[in-house]
């Protein structure tokens, strides 16, 4: 990643080039607050963010018939990171924008890990009885470029009574191994319980998860400091509700990761707070709130921007600005514990912009320290 240093009157300020895709629905509203907080933190800590905005999304598609222009992928490769709001438009058939924009970027930029922390912040209502912030703090490492998401398959005799629809799950040794390796490294660096759980379905998906399981235990030999564990995906949904405190880092395939992280989002307080990073450790990564474009709340100033703000924090951490990332997280925790009535859209007790203002204020005023 090349970090340009710009010379400001003798003082060299580190500058990161960020591609911003506000996208559809409430995407632009939450991204605006994220950028507000990014500006506050970069100003305080002395680095610069240089934003380039792209109008990819449903409106552009309806106007031009184009999801991503051909030049987009090569252009996006030149940035240090991508900051995405939301993709999905009520007037566009499901699948077109998701595949044409979101999945295309994930695949073509080879963002092979989808990193989704599930953390209950102080003051946040948890739907699980008796569970406290200390009980819910784990991270899902979702494989992000393979599995059922590759679009392999097809129809036979479509529209007839003999129709066949095939959707293939692709799992390559290379793809599985790099994701598992990332999870072990992440678990070691996180240094919490040092426990990595493989989430699969070895009892039914006897080809795909055989490969996953073999690879998992082979790689594990290189990480004697990490405790390994295995859970079937159906059981894991049960444990998320019953014993979320058992988990530290979880690694899983694309489809299971998609499903269990929505459940994860609910136990951390909802889509208003759930953030994720699409990571290519050797390339350009993309950070996004994991909730959708929420068309029914669009333009009302009631959507919760915290997920987008947390995604911005993850982005800075990933760029190597760890102190900045932690500062954003601590500011968010101040806001959840001292201000917001609820994390749900329209029930926060504050508007979208006011929540952004509050986080920006704490980012400016909190004492600086690394741990959260």
Smallest separation, CB 258 to ligand IPM (Å)? 4
Of ligand IPM, Mn ion, none, which one does residue 187 interact with (CB within 5 to 8 Å by kind)? none
SS3 (DSSP) at 119: strand
Which of 76, 102, 312, 360 is close enough to bind ligand IPM by CB under 6 A? 102
Q: 278-308 burial, b for 16+ CB within 10 Å, e for fewer?
A: bbbeeebbbbbbbbbbbbebbeeebbbbbbb
Radius of gyration of the chain from its Cα atoms, rounded to whole angstroms: 21
Under rule CB under 6 A, residue 290 binds ligand IPM: yes
**Region of residue 320 (left: phi > 0; alpha: psi -120 to 50; beta: else):** left
Task: Report the nearest approach of ligand IPM to the CB of residue 159 (Å).
Answer: 25
Smallest distance, Å, CB 228 to ligand IPM? 26
Pairing of β 81-86 and β 11-23:
parallel
Q: Token pair for residue 180?
A: 């598992």
Phi, psi of 40 (to 5 degrees): -65, -45
By beta-carbon proximity to ligand IPM, the closer residue of 68 and 331 is 68
For residue 155, give Cα distances in angstroms to 99, 103, 104, 159, 204: 18, 21, 22, 9, 24
Q: Which residues touch 313 (CB under 8 Å, ≥6 apart)? A: 275, 324, 325, 326, 328, 329, 332
98 binds, among ligand IPM, Mn ion, none (CB under 5 to 8 A by kind): ligand IPM
| Site track for Mn ion across 219-258, x = CB under 5 A | ---------------------------------------x
From start to end of the chain, where are the E strands? 4-8, 11-23, 47-53, 81-86, 113-119, 137-143, 153-156, 164-167, 195-200, 227-232, 249-252, 275-279, 285-289
Contact 216, 198 (CB under 8 A): yes
CA distance 179 to 251: 8
| Closest separation in Å from C-beta 263 to ligand IPM | 12
Regarding 98 and contact with ligand IPM (CB under 6 A), the answer is yes
Residue 255 Rama label (left phi>0; alpha psi -120 to 50; beta): alpha
Q: Is residue 177 near ligand IPM by the rule CB under 6 A?
A: no
Quick note: the x/- pattern for ligand IPM over 50-89, rule CB under 6 A, is: ----------------------------------------
Using the rule CB under 6 A, give the single segment among 59-67, 96-104, 279-287, 345-353 that binds ligand IPM.
96-104
C-alpha 67/C-alpha 129 separation (Å) is: 43
Sequence-distant (≥ 6) Cβ neighbours of residue 18 within 8 angstroms: 38, 49, 50, 51, 52, 79, 80, 81, 82, 83, 315
Whether the CA torsion 34, 136, 45, 75 is positive or negative: it is: negative
The residue within the footprint of ligand IPM, chosen from 29, 248, 253, 258 (CB under 6 A), is: 258
| Residue 88 or 313 with smaller CB distance to Mn ion | 88
Q: Per CB under 6 A, which region of 97-105, 185-193, 264-272, 303-311 contacts ligand IPM?
A: 97-105
> Does residue number 137 form part of the binding site for ligand IPM (CB under 6 A)?
no
> Least distance from C-beta 193 to ligand IPM, angstroms?
25
- Nearest residue to Mn ion, scored by beta-carbon proximity: 258
* Cβ-based nearer residue to ligand IPM, 176 or 359: 176
Site track 252-291 with Mn ion (rule: CB under 5 A), x = hit: ------x---------------------------------
In the complex, least distance from residue 341 CB atom to ligand IPM, rounded to whole angstroms = 27
CB nearer to ligand IPM: pick between 98 and 108: 98
31 binds, among Mn ion, ligand IPM, none (CB under 5 to 8 A by kind): none
Residues that bind Mn ion (CB under 5 A): 258
Residues that bind ligand IPM (CB under 6 A): 98, 102-103, 258, 290
């Amino acid at each position: 990643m090349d970090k340009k240093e710009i010379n400001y009157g003798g003082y060299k300020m580190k500058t990161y080039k960020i591609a911003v895709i506000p996208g559809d629905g409430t995407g632009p509203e939450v991204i605006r607050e994220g950028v507000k907080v990014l500006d506050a933190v970069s100003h305080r800590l002395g680095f610069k963010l240089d934003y380039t905005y792209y109008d990819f999304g449903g409106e552009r598609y309806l106007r031009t018939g184009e999801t991503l222009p051909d030049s987009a992928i090569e252009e996006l490769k030149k940035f240090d990171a991508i900051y995405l709001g939301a993709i999905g438009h009520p007037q566009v058939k499901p699948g077109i924008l998701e595949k044409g924009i979101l999945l295309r970027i994930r695949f073509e930029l080879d963002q092979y890990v989808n990193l989704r922390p599930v953390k209950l912040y102080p003051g946040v209502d948890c739907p699980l009885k008796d569970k406290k912030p200390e009980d819910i703090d784990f991270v899902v490492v979702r494989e992000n470029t393979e599995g059922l998401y590759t679009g392999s398959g097809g129809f036979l005799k479509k529209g007839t009574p003999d129709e066949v629809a095939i959707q293939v799950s692709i799992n390559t040794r290379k793809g599985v191994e790099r994701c598992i390796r990332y999870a072990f490294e992440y678990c070691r660096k996180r240094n919490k319980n040092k426990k990595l759980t493989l989430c699969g379905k070895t009892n039914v998906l006897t080809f795909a998860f055989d490969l996953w399981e073999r690879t998992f235990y082979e790689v594990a030999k290189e990480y004697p400091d990490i405790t390994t564990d295995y859970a079937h995906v159906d059981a894991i949904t049960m444990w998320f509700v019953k014993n979320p405190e058992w988990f530290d880092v979880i690694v899983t395939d694309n489809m299971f990761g998609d499903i269990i992280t929505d459940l994860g989002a609910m136990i951390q307080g909802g889509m208003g707070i759930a953030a994720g990073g699409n990571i290519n450790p050797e390339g350009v990564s993309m950070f996004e709130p994991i909730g959708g474009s929420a068309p029914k709340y669009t333009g009302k100033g009631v959507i919760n921007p915290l997920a987008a703000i947390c995604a911005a924090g993850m982005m800075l951490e990933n760029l190597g600005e760890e102190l900045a990332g932690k500062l954003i997280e601590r500011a968010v925790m101040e806001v959840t514990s001292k201000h917001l009535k609820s994390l749900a859209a329209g029930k926060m007790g504050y508007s979208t912009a006011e929540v952004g203002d509050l986080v920006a204020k704490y980012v400016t005023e909190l004492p600086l320290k690394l741990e959260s």
